[in-house]
Structure 1
Amino acid sequence: MAVDIQSEEARLIRQLIPLSTLPSQAFNSLCAQLQPEHAEQGTVLFRRGQRDGDLYYLLEGSVNLRTETFTIETIAAGSDSARFALAHQVPRKVDAVANSRIQFLRLNADMIKMANEITYDENESAMMVDDLGDSDDWMTTLLKSPIFRSLPPANLQKLLMSLQEVSCAPGEVVIRQGEPGDFYYIIKKGQALISRKPSPNAKDIKLSKLVDLDTFGEDALISGEPRSTSITALTEMTLLRLGKEQFINLIKLPTLKYIDVDGLHEQMSKGAEVIDVRGPDEYRISHLPKSTNVPFFSLRMYLKTLHRHHPIVVVCKDGKTSEMAAFILQQNKFNALILKNGIAGLSQDQLLAEPASFAIDDGTETGNLLMPVNESSISVPAEPRGERSEEGPNDDLRQLVQQLKAKCRALEAEKITLELKCSALARQLEKVKNEQDRMGEK
């Protein structure tokens, strides 16, 4: 019998991982296929060495996970451990034996995969996690981060075992610009300031603010470059942090997707958008036909102009900056693909050399540099493709207005960048003048 989505049973199932990350439409569709089962004490759910692809979730009672000689762990329904599939490694490492009369759910892994692939409306109110109870549940906090939605259940469980909870006092520097990356952070509670020094002796420039559920620190872990910004606690903060090695193995590797040149042509033939995240000067020298120049610095301001209904191929010099850009896109629910080896892997006859349209020149790739995303700061290089209806005078006028607005926003973003540069140059000039004055006094 299918599960009634309004029942208490459905509420319990909704808290299971990764079912808790499914959009409502996908979860409701899955419930129609679910049939909870019962088993008496002593029943063996599976044995060591089995290679079946089923996932077992405990809803009532308790289960012993044991080897031939002793019980390793007893899982009780309702516990944090019970939110994950029981000993889901294949082949099975242990026997799972009912410790009491139990109710359980048996899912084929393909069912979850199919549910994850269901398309959904971006405006759906319950996009990621529906009612999961107490807002202080740190596991729920984790699942509200979009990047975790597509991770395999095994990765999620290892993540929870690897995460460390740390506290920060107001004014404490969590990460410092120029230092090597060591952790990936999730803000469980609190606020932090992002700042950056344009030069070693310059004053900090305040860039943006982070709040509950925001994440940071991934750029340095992905690229291997030093931290490009500093993060300072504005309030008492509670953070969840994940070490570099765990981040790469559990998040980066299963999240980022790569394609070669043949894959690029195939995706472009299907309408994929190609964005080049190098600086404008590099882009002018050579770039892919039909690509749009969006310097990495400007990517977060550009997000609202991109379509979620087709893939986005990210291109850079050698693929490293593309990895950071693709991670940002994945966090914001885009299907991002990385051109492996970047422009360096292409021949010159595959490239063009001409100015980029509405390029935003930040002068440098800044890694984890965030800017506020709002209507007044969005850079729109051109009208998105495939959105126009039947052509006519009103459509032409509407397109012209959109293009003019795009130019204004691009210029506004460029103005912000230039103001930052001018501020840095002014400080450097003052430093030189002071040094000259000291030399004159001698």
Structure 2
Amino acid sequence: MAVDSQSEEARIIRQLIPLSTLPSQAFISLCAQLQLEHAEQGAVLFKRGDRNTSLYYLLDGSINLQTETFTIETLKAGSDSARFAIAHQVPRKVDAVANSRIQFLRLNADMMKITTETAYEENESTMMVDDLDANGDWMTTLLKSPIFRALPPANLQKLLMSLQEISCAPGVPIIRQGEPGDYYYIIKKGQAVISRKPSPNAKDIKLSKLADLDTFGEDALISGEPRSTTVTAITDMTLLRLGKEQFINLIKLPTLKYIGIDGLHEHTRQGAEVIDVRGPDEYKNSHLPNSTNVPFFSLRMYLKTLNRHHPVIVVCKDGKTSEMAAFILQQNKFNALILKNGISGLDPEQLRAEPASFSIDDGTETGNLSGPVGEPSPLTLAEQTDERTEEAATGDLRQVVQQLKAKCRALEAEKMTLELKCSSLTRQLEKFKTEQERMGGKN
């Protein structure tokens, strides 16, 4: 008998992972295919060595996970561990034996394939975890992050065992600029501020605020570089943290995806966008044709301008900054790919050494335009259309649009840089005036 999507059993099933990430309509459709099963005390769900790929979930009662000689764990329905499939590694590592009369759910491979494909559709209106109980438990918080939603169930179960909950008082730094990275943080409740010192003797510049469900601390763990910012609590906070080793093994490695130059060409032919996250000067000296310069520090500003319907290929010098950028993109539901080893692994002939299209400094637009801004083209538009096919003309217009977008992004990045410098200089000037007044008072 199918499960009524409005029943108490459906409410329990809705908490299971990854079923909790399904859009409402997909979950209702799945319920129509489900059959609840029962077993008496002593019944065996599976034995060590079994290669059955079905996933078993405990809905009521308890089971023992055991070997021939001793019980490793007793799993009880309703616990956090019961939200995951029972000992799902194949071949099975343990025997699963009913410790009482139990109710359980069995999902076969076909059901799981449909479930997984549906759960990760790129649809803004259905990606929210909207049907979970609003009880504020940290696992619900975890599942609302696209990064965690895309992880395999096995990784999520290990995360459950590895996350530590800590508290932090207002005014206390959680991470400090310049220190080595040790943890990845999820804000369960509270607010914090991100700040950065442009130089050791300068005052902190506030960059942005963090609130419930936000995450931070991944940059240093991914790159291996010291912390680039300081994050300070501004309210009482409850945080979940994950150690560096667990972050790399459970999140970074299964999340980040790499391609070579052949894959880059194939994806760009299919509409993928290439962004280079190095600084403007590095980009001008050498870059991939048709790439857009989006410096890493300003990437979050440009997320709304990127197309989620096509992959975004991230490029940098050696791949390290690209990893950090790709993680940000994945957090924001983009399909991000990393050019393995960056442009340092490419033949120089594959790169452009001339200044980027629409150079900010010299007033000259390169690329499809034949001369400085304002210089008439040798051919009128009508003459060009006569000499080229409609497809080629469309391609040229598309490239011009991309170049215009690149210019806008470069100008925005330069504006942000200048604003930060202006803020720093203003603070230094105020400090100088205060010191000057103090010295004048002494005289």
With normalisation by structure 1, the TM-score equals: 0.83
Partner of 1:384: none
Query: Secondary structure of 1:91's match?
Result: coil
The worse-fitting range, judged by mean Cα deviation, of 104-113 and 230-239 is 104-113
Change (3 A) 1:408 1:329: closer
- 1:116 match: 116
Structure 1 position 29, deviation (Å): 4.0
Measure the CA separation in 1 of the matches of 2:6 and 2:358. Answer: 51
1:227 correspondence with 2:227: yes
**Which secondary structure state, in structure 2, belongs to the residue aligned with residue 69 of structure 1?**
coil
Contact 1:280 1:359 in 2 (8 A): no
Corresponding position of 1:41:
41
What's 1:129 paired with? Answer: 129
Cα distance in 2 for residues equivalent to 1:328 and 1:238: 23
2:100 paired with 1:105: no
1:8 match: 8
Q: Distance in 2 between matches of 1:210 and 1:219?
A: 16
Which deviates the most, 254-263 or 424-433?
Answer: 424-433
Q: 1:164-179 maps to which residues of 2 (within 5 A)?
A: 164-179=164-179
CA distance in 2, matches of 1:178, 1:190: 24
Q: Deviations over 1:66-86 (max 9, x none)?
A: 111222222221111111111
Aligned-pair distance for 1:297? Answer: 1.1
How many Å separate the matches in 1 of 2:300 and 2:161? Answer: 31
Q: Please name the residue that 1:420 is paired with.
A: 420
Residue 324 to residue 109, structure 1, CA distance change in 2 (3 Å): farther
Shift in CA distance, 7/275, structure 1 to aligned 2, threshold 3 Å: same
Which secondary structure state, in structure 1, belongs to the residue aligned with residue 263 of structure 2? helix
Residue 273 in structure 1 maps to residue 259 in structure 2: no
Q: Secondary structure at the match of 1:117?
A: helix
Distance 1:318 1:428, change over 3 A: farther
1:40–1:101: 8 Å Cα contact kept in structure 2?
yes
- 1:171-205 deviation per Cα after TM superposition (whole angstroms, max 9, x unaligned): 00000000000000000000000000000100000
Match of 2:285 in 1: 285
What amino acid maps onto 2:421 in structure 1?
K
Q: What amino acid is the match of 1:122?
A: N
Distance 1:31 1:307 in 2: 34
Maintained 8 Å contact 1:23/1:129: yes
- Give, in whole Å, the separation in 2 of the partners of 1:280 and 1:303: 18
Conserved in 2, the CA contact under 8 Å of 1:23 and 1:120?
no
Question: SS in structure 2 opposite 1:167?
Answer: strand
Q: Which residue is 1:64 aligned to?
A: 64
**Structure 1 residues 226-375: aligned runs within 5 Å:** 226-357=226-357
One-letter identity of the residue aligned with 2:212:
D
Residues 211, 89 of structure 1: alpha-carbon distance in 2 compared, 3 angstrom cutoff: same
In structure 1, C-alpha distance between the alignment counterparts of 2:430 and 2:164, rounded to whole Å: 44
Equivalents in 1 of 2:290, 2:123: separation in Å? Answer: 27
Structure 1 residue 273 displacement after superposition? 1.1
Distance 1:213 1:402 in 2: 34
CA contact (8 A) 1:24 1:127 kept: no
Post-superposition offset of 1:103? 1.7
> Aligned with 1:129: secondary structure?
coil
Q: Which residue of 2 aligns with 1:215?
A: 215
The higher radius of gyration belongs to: 2
C-alpha distance after superposition, 1:266-309 (max 9, x if no partner): 21122111111111111111211221111111110111111111
Could you tell me which runs of 5 or more consecutive residues in structure 2 were left unpaired when the two chains were aligned.
Answer: 362-399
Query: What is the DSSP-based 3-state SS (H/G/I as helix, E as strand, rest coil) of the residue aligned with 2:188?
Result: strand
Q: Distance in 1 between matches of 2:204 and 2:336?
A: 32
Q: Give distance in 2, aligned partners of 1:5 and 1:354.
A: 61
- Inter-partner Cα distance in structure 2 for 1:360 and 1:114: 49
Deviations 1:336-363 (A, max 9, x none): 11110010111112112343357899xx
Alignment CA distance shift 1:314-1:134 (3 Å): same
Q: Which moved more, 1:40-49 or 1:245-254?
A: 40-49
CA 1:255 to 1:409, structure 2 compared with 1: closer, same or farther past 3 Å? Answer: closer
Q: Which moved more, 1:27-36 or 1:62-71?
A: 27-36
The Cα shift of 1:98 comes to: 1.4
Question: Which amino acid in 1 is paired with 2:138?
Answer: W
Give the conservation status (yes or no) of the 8 Å contact 1:182–1:243: yes
Residue type matched to 1:164 in 2?
Q
Measured in 1, the distance between the counterparts of 2:222 and 2:143 equals 21
The separation in 2 between residues aligned to 1:73 and 1:26, in whole angstroms, is 33
Question: What TM-score do you get using the length of structure 2 for normalisation?
Answer: 0.83
Q: 1:42 to 1:314 in 2, by over 3 A?
A: same
Secondary structure of residue in 1 paired with 2:414: helix
CA contact (8 A) 1:26 1:116 kept: no
Identity over aligned residues, as a percent? 83
On the 8 A contact 1:358/1:410 being kept in 2, the answer is no
Report the RMSD for the aligned CA atoms in angstroms: 3.1
Q: Secondary structure at the match of 1:414?
A: helix
- In the other structure, the counterpart of 1:81 is 81
SS in 2 for 1:12: helix
Counterpart CA distance in 2 for 1:358 and 1:238 is 47
Helix, strand or coil for the counterpart of 2:208?
strand
Asked if the contact 2:191/2:209 (under 8 Å) is kept, the reply is yes
Most deviating of 24-33 and 93-102: 24-33
> 1:20, 1:128 within 8 Å by CA — same for their partners in 2?
no
SS in 1 for 2:73: strand
Report how far residue 416 of structure 1 moved.
3.0
